[in-house]
Structures are given as structure tokens and as C-alpha cells.
């Protein structure tokens, strides 16, 4: 499942604000579906459902509805960590973390049925993910961001450029504090695209944000 290398990849990551008490009738569940609809309309490249607190049953319900919304569109649906849920619901792929099952194990199980992304925070991690059969990596945090404080200080543009150069043409997607003002720096540094939570969180502005990013040159 190769990604299109001719356009900046846009990777919307959901906020993870749902809880174990969230149900399909909860407002936050409905809001996620509205955001997914907006992402499809805006032709977001990748959409990662990152709702770690949901029960498996509710996550599956969300994934099934998201699969319906993204089917036959330009948007590929990824499930954070749960490749079992991705397989069971017909999602396009899985986004793994440093605490997940290694990409090599997932690839041996799913073959080419799923797109595999891996979140990385160093050159070694990124190279290992590529060797293990991942299709792309997220690298960061590039800039300061509250959601990535647990991973320490920002990596910075120079580190992003170094990793992108080392792995080229393998897709390295920048994440962490990326906004409309600094996204171009990431693309100029060699990133294949942009992943974000806050930047893509406003369903009403999403199409204009994506259009602006698509005018950047990889």
C-alpha cells in the first residue's frame, strides 16, 4: 500500500478525548464522526483514530462507522495500535507506537492487508521501523507541543531533516507542534507530510487547511 510521494501527506490524528464511559450516543462520539466526514470531504490522506480509552466494543463501533465514511475515498483509515480492530472492521491500516507490538510481528500477521505506520522519536527507531516492514513513520515531536511533552524536548527541524535524509525515499511524516506557520519548514526539511491533532481539529476549517498544505512542495 504505497503512499503517494508526489503530494504532502496529511495525517489527521484524533484527540483521544473519549473515555471508557463514551458510548455511540455520546456527544464526543458524534463529534468524531463529524470530523471524519470533514476529513473525507477535505481529502485528508490518512486519518488515525487514536481513542485509547474507549472500550473495544465502542472502538469497533467507531471504526465500522469510520470505514463506511472513508470507503471509496482518498482518505485511508488507521487505528492506533489495535491491528486486530483494524482487521476486524476493514480499516486500511494501523498506527503503532513504541509500546506496541513491533511492526515486524504485525507485518508477519497481516501481510499486505494493512498499511503500517510507526511513531518514532529517534533515527534508530525510524530505521528499525523501516527494516521491520512499516510503510511510513511519524517522527517528532518536531516543535513544542503539550500532547508530546512525555517524549521530552522537541527534536527540532535539523533532526527531522537528518532522519528524512537518512531514510529517503521512505516516507517520514512530521508530528508535534506543527501548525500553519511552521508546516512549510517541515516540508522543506524533507518530510513527506504533516501529522497533527490541533491543526486538523476544526471540522469547519479543515478543507481550507488541507488545501493550503497541499500547495506545499515535497
Cα 88 to Cα 63: distance, rounded to the nearest angstrom: 9
Residue 3: which pLDDT band, with cuts at 50, 70 and 90?
confident
pLDDT digits (tens, 9 = 90+) for 54-106: 999 999 999 999 999 999 999 999 999 999 999 999 999 999 998 889 999 99
Q: Is the pLDDT of residue 1 over 60?
A: no
- pTM of the predicted protein model: 0.94
Q: Is the pLDDT of residue 140 over 70?
A: yes
DSSP label of 23: -
DSSP label of 45: S
Q: What is the pLDDT of residue 151?
A: 57
Whether domain 9-212 has CATH 1.10.10.10: no
Give the three cell numbers for residue 63: 471504526
Can you give 96-107 as a three-state secondary structure string?
Answer: ECCCCCCHHHHH
C-alpha distances in Å from residue 121, one per residue of 69, 126, 201, 202: 32, 8, 23, 27
C-alpha distances in Å from residue 111, one per residue of 47, 63, 87, 118: 21, 21, 11, 16
Least confident of 24-33, 140-149, 184-193, 194-203: 140-149
Domain limits, the chain: 9-212
Work out the mean pLDDT of the chain and round it to a whole number. 94
Residue 148: which pLDDT band, with cuts at 50, 70 and 90?
low
Q: Can you point out the beta strands (E) in the chain?
A: 9-13, 46-49, 76-80, 93-96, 115-120, 136-139, 172-175, 193-196
Amino acid at each position: 500500500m504505497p503512499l503517494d510521494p508526489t503530494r504532502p501527506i496529511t495525517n489527521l490524528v484524533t484527540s483521544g478525548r473519549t473515555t471508557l464511559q463514551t458510548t455511540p450516543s455520546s456527544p464526543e462520539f458524534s463529534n468524531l464522526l463529524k470530523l471524519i466526514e470533514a476529513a473525507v470531504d477535505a481529502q485528508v490522506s490518512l486519518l488515525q483514530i487514536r481513542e485509547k480509552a474507549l472500550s473495544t466494543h465502542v472502538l469497533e463501533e467507531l471504526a465500522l462507522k469510520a470505514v463506511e465514511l472513508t470507503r471509496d475515498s482518498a482518505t485511508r483509515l488507521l487505528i492506533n495500535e489495535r491491528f486486530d480492530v483494524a482487521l476486524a472492521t476493514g480499516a486500511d491500516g494501523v498506527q503503532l507506537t513504541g509500546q506496541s507490538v513491533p511492526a515486524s510481528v504485525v507485518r508477519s500477521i497481516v501481510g499486505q492487508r494493512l498499511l503500517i505506520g510507526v511513531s518514532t522519536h529517534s533515527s534508530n527507531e525510524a530505521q528499525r521501523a523501516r527494516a521491520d516492514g512499516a510503510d511510513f513513520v511519524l517522527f517528532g515531536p518536531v516543535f513544542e507541543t503539550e500532547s508530546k511533552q512525555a517524549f521530552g524536548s522537541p527534536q527540532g527541524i535539523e533532526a527531522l531533516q537528518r532522519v528524512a535524509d537518512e531514510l529517503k525515499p521512505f516516507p517520514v511524516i512530521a508530528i508535534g507542534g506543527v501548525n500553519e506557520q511552521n508546516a512549510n519548514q517541515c516540508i522543506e526539511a524533507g518530510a513527506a507530510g504533516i501529522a497533527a491533532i490541533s491543526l486538523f481539529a476544526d471540522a469547519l476549517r479543515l478543507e481550507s487547511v488541507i488545501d493550503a498544505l497541499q500547495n506545499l512542495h515535497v
